[in-house]
């Protein structure tokens, strides 16, 4: 929010606090001088005006419990209407069999690729020999991402596929060689199990979420 927009609000709040301070000071002076105190009737009890702290405690008292009961009743009525009408409130998209099957297939392809990088001969595991895998796999992931975006209330699945694309970029960066010799790069042997676990866990989470939508 701009300072020009905040200034009127702050100025008004400051003025209000100033008025309250002056009124409180006046009340204290009146009490100390005996003013504003009703004079007792002859033979009757002494009458006093409630002090400022007493007024403040009254203002700070919690709202009546009846208000909270009304909110609870309204919530129960809304739930009863939904149940009576046979309605189901869905907070996530419906199950999509194509997304489910595509996720399983893409998980298998990534696991197979990483296994080849782990077991094939040295010339077959270079970045240059496998450069085409990365745009192919990214295209497959984006195709499912677009399908997921077409479903309403599907933000969780969409976010998972976007993270999958980020992980693919990290894998390619680890595979690519240094500048000028990019095609000679190879995946570090110790990094392959880490990437395998990363992708398997991510695909497993996507599949579990999609299967849960059946319920």
Query: pLDDT band at residue 215, thresholds of 50, 70 and 90?
Result: confident
The pLDDT score that the predictor gives to residue 89 is 56
Verify that 106 and 188 share a domain, yes or no.
yes
Q: What is the mean pLDDT of residues 92-107?
A: 94
The pLDDT score that the predictor gives to residue 214 is 86
Verify that 107 and 198 share a domain, yes or no.
yes
* Residue labelled with tokens 């976007």: 162
In a domain? residue 36: no
Residue 90 has pLDDT above 50, yes or no: yes
Compute how many other C-beta atoms are within 10 angstroms of the C-beta atom of residue 187. Answer: 20
In a domain? residue 55: no
User: Which residues constitute the domain of residue 119?
Assistant: 97-212
In a domain? residue 179: yes
Give the orientation angle of helix 3-33 with respect to helix 52-59, to 10 degrees: 140
For 136-165, write each residue's pLDDT tens digit.
999 999 999 999 999 999 999 999 999 999
The pLDDT score that the predictor gives to residue 27 is 57
For 14-73, write each residue's pLDDT tens digit.
444 454 555 556 656 655 555 555 555 555 444 444 444 444 443 444 444 444 444 444
Query: pLDDT band at residue 108, thresholds of 50, 70 and 90?
Result: very high
CB 114 within 8 A of CB 196: yes
Q: What is the mean pLDDT of residues 80-85?
A: 42
Verify that 27 and 105 share a domain, yes or no.
no
Terminal CA-to-CA distance of the chain, rounded, Å? Answer: 44
Residue 183 has pLDDT above 70, yes or no: yes
The pLDDT score that the predictor gives to residue 55 is 40
126 forms beta bridges with 186
CB 104 within 8 A of CB 140: no
Dist CA 132 CA 54 (whole Å): 78
In a domain? residue 86: no
pTM, two decimal places: 0.59
In a domain? residue 69: no
Percentage above 90 pLDDT, the chain: 53
Considering the chain, what is the average pLDDT of its residues? 75
Query: pLDDT band at residue 107, thresholds of 50, 70 and 90?
Result: very high
Neighbour-count burial of 79, counting CB atoms closer than 10 A to its CB (0-12 exposed, 13-18 middle, 19+ buried): exposed
The total number of structural domains in the chain stands at 2
Query: pLDDT band at residue 207, thresholds of 50, 70 and 90?
Result: very high
The pLDDT score that the predictor gives to residue 35 is 52
């Amino acid at each position: 929010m701009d300072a020009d927009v905040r200034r009127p609000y702050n100025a008004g709040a400051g003025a209000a606090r100033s008025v309250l301070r002056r009124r409180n000071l006046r009340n204290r002076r009146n009490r100390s001088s005996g003013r504003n105190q009703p004079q007792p009737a002859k033979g009757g009890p002494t009458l006093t005006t409630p002090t400022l702290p007493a007024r403040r405690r009254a203002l700070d008292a919690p709202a009546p419990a009846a208000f909270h009961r009304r909110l609870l009743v309204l919530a129960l009525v809304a739930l009863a209407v939904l149940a009576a009408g046979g309605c189901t409130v869905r907070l996530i998209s419906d199950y999509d069999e194509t997304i489910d099957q595509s996720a399983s297939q893409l998980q298998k392809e990534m696991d197979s690729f990483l296994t080849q990088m782990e077991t094939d001969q040295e010339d077959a595991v270079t970045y240059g020999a496998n450069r085409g895998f990365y745009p192919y796999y990214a295209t497959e992931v984006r195709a499912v991402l677009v399908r997921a975006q077409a479903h309403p209330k599907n933000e969780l699945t969409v976010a998972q596929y976007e993270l999958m694309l980020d992980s693919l970029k990290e894998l390619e960066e680890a595979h690519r060689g240094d500048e000028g010799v990019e095609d000679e790069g190879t995946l570090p042997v110790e990094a392959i199990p880490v990437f395998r676990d990363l992708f398997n866990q991510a695909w497993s989470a996507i599949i579990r979420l999609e299967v849960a939508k059946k319920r």
